[in-house]
Amino acid sequence: MSTISEKVLQKIKQGQIKPLPRWQYLLSLGGRWFGFGLLLLLAVCSLGLLWYFWSDGPWFVYGHFGFGRIFGGMPLLLLGLIIVGCCFSLG
């Protein structure tokens, strides 16, 4: 009866299994940080837009055409998406 180490080594050799290369993990990690950075940048832009709409943004223009609610809610929606995205990215 073979031991578990013999069975594992046999499977490794028979299946010609090799450890996945390190660069794949580095790429995945880099991708995550890049995504996180991008989301952070979007968050900053979104906050800027939010501030702009709430302070002296062109509410009257959108209001005039009846788009006020849609466009006014956009930064909030974007911000929400970014927060969710950041949580996923960190998780």
Partner 1 sequence: MILENECQKFSDEALVERVLTKSDYYACLVNRYSEALGRYVVRLGANPVDAEDVLQEVFLNAYLHLNSFDKNLKFSSWLYRIAHNQTISAFRKTNVRPTVELTDLEPWQEMARESCPGVKIDQAMLSQKVALALDRLDQKYREVLILKFFEDKDYNEMSDILKKPMGTIATLVNRAKKQLTGLVEKELLQ
Residue numbers at the binding site for partner 1 (CB under 8 A): 3-9, 11-13, 17, 19-22, 24-25
CA–CA distance, 86 with 82 (Å, rounded to integer) = 6
Beta carbons within 8 Å of 53's beta carbon, 6+ residues apart: 59, 71, 72, 75
CB 91, min distance to partner 1, A: 10
CB 88, min distance to partner 1, A: 15
* Cβ(53)–Cβ(72) below 8 Å: yes
CB 65, min distance to partner 1, A: 50
Q: In the complex with partner 1, which residue's Cβ is closer, 5 or 55?
A: 5
